[in-house]
Amino acid sequence: MWLYILIGLLALVAGVAIGFFVARQYTMNYLKKNPPINEQMLKVMMAQMGQKPSQKKINQMMKAMNNTSK
């Protein structure tokens, strides 16, 4: 009887661990393929804040965001 409980608990722990790593890998791949913020969104956000976005400033911000995500 105790053997069945032990096997069940081990299977549960293994399933949770495998599920966590699979979900983490899927999420990382999804975010790499579909970044949450692109240049157009950045331009709109800066315009809403009252700034006139230059291409140099946008490139700097995108580079900084990409560096922090890695």
How many Cα atoms are found within 13 Å in the side-chain-facing hemisphere of 42? 18
pTM (global) more than 0.85: no
How confident is the prediction along the chain (70 residues), in pLDDT tens digits per residue? 899 999 999 999 999 999 999 999 999 999 888 878 888 888 998 899 998 888 999 999 889 888 886 6
How many Cα atoms are found within 13 Å in the side-chain-facing hemisphere of 69? 15
Amino acid at 57: K
Q: According to the model, what pLDDT value does residue 70 have?
A: 65
DSSP per-residue codes, 7-47: HHHHHHHHHHHHHHHHHHHHHHHHHHHS-S--HHHHHHHHH
Q: Counting Cβ atoms within 10 Å, is residue 49 exposed (0-12), middle (13-18) or buried (19+)?
A: exposed
